[in-house]
Amino acid sequence: MRIATWNINSVRARLDRVTAYLTEHNIDVLALQETKVKDGAFPAAPFEQLNYEIAYHGFNQWNGVALISRVGLTQVHRSFPGQPAFGKPGETPQVEARAIGANCGGVHVWSLYVPHGRALGDPHMAYKLEFLQQLAHDAAHWLTADPTLRLALVGDFNVAPLDTDVWDPALFEGQTHTSAPERAAFAAFEASGMREVTREHIPAPGAYTYWDYQQLRFPKDEGMRIDFAYCSPALANQVRAVHIRRLERKGKGASDHVPVELDIAD
């Protein structure tokens, strides 16, 4: 089975790219982030015509996540139990459309869009840290309840765990994505036995998954590694290979992120 994750930065703006990608790369399960579409406007038909099932979650033009599967799609959850809410000052905080989980062919897959953080000290940064901490807490609980669980937490984690995960660490001093609290929150999944399998299979520096649209970041290969897959031990032991589809960043109409795939033993 091949499971992929991709921050698509609008599923409607890139519908042709997504459907072509599913076919060309023989994808069984695709977790999308930043679909940027409310549920009533999600373009489901093109996926159903390719014999995929689909579950999506979006309130407005921000965030939005989806799961697309041809190996089954049951037990759909549109947030995780501890997922924190966020809102502007004076507004009622909302649990945003940043997580959707389902059982896809026996693998419990979560498509996750971790909050950006905006700036160190911004309320959005506290929200980001809380989101990661609560997710790690829930994962630990699920694994304690069932140590044989095949669980995959995939998506845009918005954290660059190592200095080699950004092209110039000095530029990120005092910025989001590389700060010590963010890296600690990211690493907390390992305390519950989860394993970040993309690093296990692709340890080399410079394996970027994101390049900014501005300042020729892609042609100059000035990228960031911020898309990951934390797996339970039972699933991590079945991962045979990982692919980062760098070529999807090429050309007109590309997302700023590329797909990351896990090949799981049958």
Partner DNA sequence: ATGACTCATTACATGAGA
Binding residues (CB under 7 A) for DNA: these are 7, 9-10, 12-14, 34, 36-38, 41, 60-62, 88, 115-116, 118, 124, 156, 158, 176-177, 210, 212-216, 218-219, 221, 224, 226, 250-254, 256-257
Could you give the angle at the alpha carbon of 5 between the alpha carbons of 131 and 43, nearest 5°?
100
Q: Using only the alpha carbons of the chain, give its radius of gyration.
A: 17
Residue closer to DNA (CB basis): 124 or 195: 124
Nearer CB in complex with DNA: 190/212:
212
- Least distance to DNA, CB of residue 160, Å: 7
Quote the least distance from Cβ 248 to DNA, whole Å: 11
Q: Which is nearer to DNA, 24 or 266 (CB)?
A: 24
Burial class (CB in 10 A: 0-12, 13-18, 19+), 124: middle
Positive/negative CA dihedral, 26, 197, 192, 124:
negative
Least distance in Å: CB of 222 to DNA? Answer: 10
Nearer Cβ to DNA (59/142): 59
Cβ atoms of 128 and 117 within 8 Å: the answer is yes
Q: How far is the CB of 254 from DNA (least distance, A)?
A: 7
Nearest to 239 by CA among 250, 248, 226, 230: 230
Q: How many CB atoms within 10 Å of residue 87? A: 12
Q: Which is nearer to DNA, 70 or 177 (CB)?
A: 177
Reading the block at residue 233, the tokens are 């031990």
CB of 185 to DNA, least distance (A): 15
Question: What are the Cα distances from residue 208, in Å, to 48, 68, 245, 258, 264?
Answer: 31, 24, 10, 9, 22
CB of 123 to DNA, least distance (A): 11
